[in-house]
Amino acid sequence: MTTEEIYALPIDQYGWRIVYGNWVKLGDGVTLGDDVKLGNRVNFGNDVKLGNDVNLGKGVNLGNGVNLGNDVNLGDGVNSEQLNDYFIHLFILRGEKIILTKWVTKDRMSPNFDGGTKIHYAVGETIVVMDAVKSDQQCTHGLHVFDFGHRPEWYGMCIADHDLVAIDVLIDTNDILFGGLPSMTGKIRVKKLKVLS
């Protein structure tokens, strides 16, 4: 990317003091905060958002929709698929099966924060999304749950004064498809869950 190309982009997408190396490739809808440093051959998918004071080493590759908050530092060659695998591994260290939190409406339907098919969460039922696949995408096909006790308003999903109900769900850690990325933790995507409460 040349200086002329980066300055030709919409000004509201880029903060102050951006430093970037050679052969940087940014997808559509990328937003960069202040004091961001991108090494050589950094590659972003579409709609990537970086906070302030983010430093990415050479050859970092981030998929579509990755959102890194302030003060994240990633070394050379890191990619968002590897990071997702790491965060999934952290859940696996908790045990083969873990309890997470699902938020539902009073009639036990999914609130559809991200759109998609409404699902009823009856106690004792096992729910599976057969065609959901593991990836670095937090908000895509699958079942969306939160780390145990986490609330949806903490992640900007809804207002704090909501009438949603928290239920416990049992997850086999092998069914976690998105476990997190730096500053993208707490909202998890899974293939299958069992409704406990």
Using alpha carbons only, give the angle 192, 88, 193 rounded to the nearest 5 degrees: 15
pLDDT in tens, 72-109: 999 999 999 999 999 999 999 999 999 999 999 999 99
The 3-state DSSP class for residue 4 equals helix
pLDDT of residue 192: 98
Order the strands of the 19-20 sheet from edge to edge.
Answer: 19-20, 37-38, 55-56, 73-74
The answer to whether residue 73 sits within a structural domain is yes
The domain containing residue 102 runs over which residues?
A: 94-195
The answer to whether residue 186 sits within a structural domain is yes
The answer to whether residue 74 sits within a structural domain is yes
Tell me how far apart the alpha carbons of residues 82 and 122 are, in angstroms, rounded to a whole number: 35
- For the whole model, what pTM was predicted? 0.82
DSSP string, 28-67: TT-EE-TT-EE-TT-EE-TT-EE-TT-EE-TT-EE-TT-E
pLDDT over threshold 70, residue 9? no
Residues 52 and 121 in one domain: no
Residues 191 and 98 in one domain: yes
Residues 165 and 138 in one domain: yes
Residues 67 and 136 in one domain: no
Average pLDDT over all residues of the chain: 89
Q: How many CA atoms lie within 13 A of 71 on its CB side?
A: 0
pLDDT of residue 14: 67
Residues 59 and 131 in one domain: no
The answer to whether residue 84 sits within a structural domain is no
| CA distances to 151, 153, 155, 188 from 148, in Å | 9, 14, 14, 11
The answer to whether residue 136 sits within a structural domain is yes
The answer to whether residue 88 sits within a structural domain is no
Among 78, 107, 133, residue at a domain's last position: 78
Structural domain total, the chain: 2
User: Among 80, 187, 183, which residue's Cα sits nearest to residue 139?
Assistant: 187
φ and ψ at residue 61, rounded to 5 degrees:
-130, 115
Residues 188 and 98 in one domain: yes
Residues 118 and 168 in one domain: yes
Tell me how far apart the alpha carbons of residues 192 and 144 are, in angstroms, rounded to a whole number: 10
pLDDT in tens, 118-147: 999 999 999 999 999 999 999 889 999 999
The answer to whether residue 122 sits within a structural domain is yes
Residues 73 and 113 in one domain: no
pLDDT in tens, 159-175: 999 999 999 999 999 99
pLDDT over threshold 50, residue 8? no
Give the mean pLDDT of 112-119. 82
Among 25, 48, 78, residue at a domain's last position: 78
Give the mean pLDDT of 49-74. 92
Residues 121 and 156 in one domain: yes
The answer to whether residue 54 sits within a structural domain is yes
**Whose structure tokens read 């050589």?**
40
Confidence of residue 11 (pLDDT cuts 50, 70, 90): very low
| CA distances to 124, 137, 145, 164 from 127, in Å | 10, 20, 12, 19
pLDDT of residue 116: 76
Among 24, 45, 78, residue at a domain's last position: 78
